[in-house]
Chains A and B, each alone.
Chain A
């Protein structure tokens, strides 16, 4: 708008901003900002996949503090109000001496919030969530926002074992717990699907214990295809950490983890998976304050 048009002040400012926004919109549409890059592009077709962004910024200060505030002010109260989650076995994640992989069944977008709700503050603070790269990160803005809220990182479902191992093992080695949904995607009918061997592979390669987690009720809150959650009761049951046996292959270990998650789904408590009362009592022993704390 020319300066001599006679319009001044707020009208002129609004007009200028409006024009700039229109320009940005036009460029965005022209260069397809919101769509994924086609798989046919040569860079995607490499045998060794491109080193994906692991969103390191989301695990640094001050983002961690901001996330803590968001989770305590918004996410956890909302989860509590929607699901009144009943958590069993929190003692197993109270005092984690080393990073673990949380392997849970997956039937809903609510699963992640429920798992984070079930963890203690100390464990939650050091936990990253594996989010499907081809689903959550095809829109960078969405991926970054989700990462800010839930501390997610892109987990490739298509790039093979190498791609999975690459970023996940780095995170585990640097002390982060990892939430994985070994079924690969959300269940269509709420039933547990077969676990993919990735979780066993990752645990075997990195020597990390796996904590089986079963979530009940999330499917009713927000099944696949539903856009908004509806309130409903949920239960999160956490089993005791499982370590791969020396001669155990990835597939056998995955099968064992899957069996544990399925057993946790049963109604009566499962001392084999959840621990005997003596084991749980010892796990709940108050922490001795350390010098310097």
Chain B
């Protein structure tokens, strides 16, 4: 039986705690009385995933069995999530591969000749052929790539259609092939509560016009938090768009959930609480610490990005989107929820080497903000762990390094936009449209492997709520110039950061460290 998450108070016997530090790790001693929040242990995975998938497709929730929906002569489209999920990428076979193979087997049996598979990228970068092969597996890749297995292009006017407007005036667009299909099967992998449900179709297969309807500062400021869909304006908007899409095309949703076994054997100590570290874990930590201290960044990055997570399937649900997503969220919460009592003056977080937008690339400063201040801060329900006006302390080297292939618009965003202002509202009004419509960024998004021109703006908006909520944000170990450009404070050590924080929150503050990843959702009472 997996242990639930825990909140531990630091006393004299508490060992130092692990802080992720980009492509490195640190052990830090927290002040006496500080709290450390640990995620639950990984749940036991389903022993026979194939059988569970077959069962889910045969007995879907509030929908007909998939087999009865497939017929000769129909147009079938299978859409699936891209490589931004799960993190780190899952060790083969990916659960999406197992689900899609089952669906395709059924389609072959029914004699469906017109079948297409689309990677639902939204405005993310195009994946390389090898990255797609890793997600879908050899058999699907060999059969369908590149004619019938391809990637969504949100900037291709020929390949997208305008569906209409929601009651709130949000534009809805969809990939043309999906819109013209008799049936769309959406295969999703939900790692955090933000993903899945109506959001899959309404962002994954949409254009900039559709996505900007909810990826904006106003909506994100009204999402408390976007990791908790019932309180998220972002999700309400996606639901409205999704309902319009469901009126246009028949969609059969398949959602899968995995446990939080995020690190392979070589980095198993990251998965464990420090009090559970065996001599082997301690040796592994020491080995990794020395390696990450000495090795050149590019080499470290290759080693870290080659890690594959041994995630195990914990649930698979199919059928009507709302019924499916409710079950999915329940399964996700079972895995990642931790009860935390009350808010705190200071929250500390270690920012890891990987976020959704830097798979096989360095985490640039804008993405550090997106990951630490955007995603990790927002893993809460009801209210943030940090009190309003409190101090958020992050650890990350925060270097000026960008991947010119994947993140060209991020470079301009950092150099031009952040030099002018860091205020999300002002940035949105002044710069977003220019970047989104820039022909060169558009070309790189469509033909190379670059994120869309508007993507760095969204990465920054994710952090809008935390920037608004926190009294101060300090990055420990970051490059001073870079951290100042981001609009935050820089500290050399954690002790210095606490000293600086006391100037904002007063003497003897309460401190909480969120020991992520593996990810968790703090249920704050």
A residues with a Cβ closer than 8 A to B are 90-91, 268-269, 276-278, 280-282, 284-286
CB distance from B181 to the nearest CB of A (A): 16
Contact B143 A90 (CB under 8 A): no
Contact A269 B111 (CB under 8 A): no
Assembled-state Cα–Cα distance A281/B106 (Å): 11
Q: Which residue of A lies closest to B112 (CB)?
A: A278
Supposing A90-B142, A91-B142, A284-B142 touch, asked if A278 and B147 sit within 8 A by C-beta, the answer is no
Contact B147 A280 (CB under 8 A): no
Assembled-state Cα–Cα distance A32/B421 (Å): 86
The residues of B that contact A284 with a CB separation of less than 8 Å are: 138-139, 142-143
Q: Does B113 contact A (CB under 8 A)?
A: yes
Contact B147 A281 (CB under 8 A): no
Contact B142 A278 (CB under 8 A): no
The residues of A that contact B113 with a CB separation of less than 8 Å are: 276-278
Assembled-state Cα–Cα distance A286/B142 (Å): 13
Interface residues of B in 30-67 (CB under 8 A from A): none
Interface residues of B in 188-228 (CB under 8 A from A): none
The residues of B that contact A280 with a CB separation of less than 8 Å are: 142-143
The residues of A that contact B115 with a CB separation of less than 8 Å are: 277
Q: Does B104 contact A (CB under 8 A)?
A: yes
The residues of A that contact B138 with a CB separation of less than 8 Å are: 284
B residues with a Cβ closer than 8 A to A are 104-105, 108, 111, 113, 115, 138-139, 142-144, 147-148
CB distance from B230 to the nearest CB of A (A): 41
Contact partner of B108 (CB less than 8 A), chosen from A90, A268, A282, is A282
Assembled-state Cα–Cα distance A91/B144 (Å): 12
Q: Which residue of B lies closest to A278 (CB)?
A: B108
Assembled-state Cα–Cα distance A284/B101 (Å): 11
CB distance from A270 to the nearest CB of B (A): 11
A281-B139, A284-B139 are known; give 11 further A-B pairs, CB within 8 A.
A91-B143, A268-B147, A276-B113, A277-B143, A280-B142, A280-B143, A281-B108, A281-B143, A282-B108, A284-B142, A286-B139
CB distance from A147 to the nearest CB of B (A): 31
Assembled-state Cα–Cα distance A2/B139 (Å): 73
Contact A269 B143 (CB under 8 A): no
Pick the 9 closest A-B CB pairs, nearest first.
A284-B139, A278-B108, A280-B143, A281-B143, A281-B108, A269-B147, A277-B143, A91-B142, A284-B142
The residues of B that contact A281 with a CB separation of less than 8 Å are: 104-105, 108, 139, 143
**15 A-B residue contacts at CB 8 Å?**
A91-B143, A268-B147, A277-B108, A277-B113, A277-B115, A277-B143, A278-B111, A278-B113, A280-B143, A281-B104, A281-B108, A281-B139, A284-B138, A284-B143, A286-B139
Q: Which residue of B lies closest to A275 (CB)?
A: B143
Assembled-state Cα–Cα distance A278/B139 (Å): 12
CB distance from A266 to the nearest CB of B (A): 13
Assembled-state Cα–Cα distance A268/B148 (Å): 12
CB distance from B53 to the nearest CB of A (A): 16
Assembled-state Cα–Cα distance A284/B138 (Å): 9
CB distance from A50 to the nearest CB of B (A): 45
CB distance from B71 to the nearest CB of A (A): 14
Q: Which residue of B lies closest to A286 (CB)?
A: B139
The residues of A that contact B108 with a CB separation of less than 8 Å are: 277-278, 281-282
Most central of A269, A281, A285 by chain B CB within 10 Å: A281
Assembled-state Cα–Cα distance A280/B108 (Å): 10
CB distance from B24 to the nearest CB of A (A): 35
CB distance from B109 to the nearest CB of A (A): 9
Q: Which residue of A lies closest to B110 (CB)?
A: A278
CB distance from B149 to the nearest CB of A (A): 10
Q: Which residue of B lies closest to A276 (CB)?
A: B113
The residues of B that contact A268 with a CB separation of less than 8 Å are: 147
Q: Which residue of A lies closest to B108 (CB)?
A: A278
Q: Which residue of A lies closest to B107 (CB)?
A: A278
The residues of A that contact B111 with a CB separation of less than 8 Å are: 278
Most central of B115, B138, B142, B148 by chain A CB within 10 Å: B142
The residues of B that contact A276 with a CB separation of less than 8 Å are: 113
The residues of B that contact A91 with a CB separation of less than 8 Å are: 142-143
CB distance from A150 to the nearest CB of B (A): 25
CB distance from A122 to the nearest CB of B (A): 15
The residues of B that contact A90 with a CB separation of less than 8 Å are: 142
Assembled-state Cα–Cα distance A278/B138 (Å): 16
The residues of A that contact B105 with a CB separation of less than 8 Å are: 281
The residues of B that contact A286 with a CB separation of less than 8 Å are: 139
The residues of A that contact B104 with a CB separation of less than 8 Å are: 281
Assembled-state Cα–Cα distance A278/B143 (Å): 9
Contact A277 B142 (CB under 8 A): no
CB distance from A92 to the nearest CB of B (A): 11
Assembled-state Cα–Cα distance A280/B139 (Å): 9
CB distance from A246 to the nearest CB of B (A): 28
Contact B139 A277 (CB under 8 A): no
Assembled-state Cα–Cα distance A286/B143 (Å): 13
Assembled-state Cα–Cα distance A276/B144 (Å): 10
The residues of A that contact B147 with a CB separation of less than 8 Å are: 268-269
